[in-house]
Amino acid sequence: MGEPTRDGDPGDRSRSDVTPPSPGQRRLVTREPTRYLALMDRELSSLVDSIRRHYDDGCFACGRENPIGLHLDDFALADGRVSARFTPRAHYRGAGTTLHGGVAATALDEILVWAGILLEEVMTVTGTIELRYRKPVHVHESIVVSSAVDERRGRRLILSGELSVDGETRVAASGLYLVTADVAELLSADH
């Protein structure tokens, strides 16, 4: 009989041996590395481009064809984390030169989705997201967003991430994300 599936049934590949954490406690999942973790920068860039093209490159957060979008780019994988960069435009400001909190939330929501794509090979939608604003971010600052998969249970992912400037976390996020499709199936439909 095969390994348990993501939903607990025999036969499917499971990348997680998640046991329920104690209340208020999180632990990182242990799983086999996905094939994406071994990608070189050029291959990763090609995969990211394929996913963007699948959605007509119009995503507000990562799409390059969206004239008012954030244009998250320079995706990278390292140490079980996904990261990307962006420099906000002046019109993303709230008060003064401070980045609007909703824009910070959007960037974090997007990088959490990319953790599902590149670390679990699945597309997800946001179930819940919690944010902690620690220090203001300004629109002239270069921003790095990063994320990881903390836990997987079937079609549910617990993800966490941060928005940083010069290595300092300014906004932290965590959330529950729901799997909608396998990346391989999604991209195979394009060919």
24: left (phi over 0), alpha (psi -120 to 50) or beta: left
Residue 189's pLDDT band (boundaries 50, 70, 90)?
confident
Superfamily of segment(s) 72-188:
Hotdog Thioesterase (3.10.129.10)
pTM of the model: 0.80
The 10s digit of each residue's pLDDT in 120-131 is: 999 999 999 999
Strand partners, 147: 82, 161
3-state secondary structure of 134: coil
Instruction: Write phi, then psi, for 185 (nearest 5 degrees).
Output: -65, -40
- Three-state DSSP at 155 gives coil
Q: What is the pLDDT of residue 66?
A: 93
**Across the strands, what pairs with 78?**
81
119 has pLDDT over 80: yes
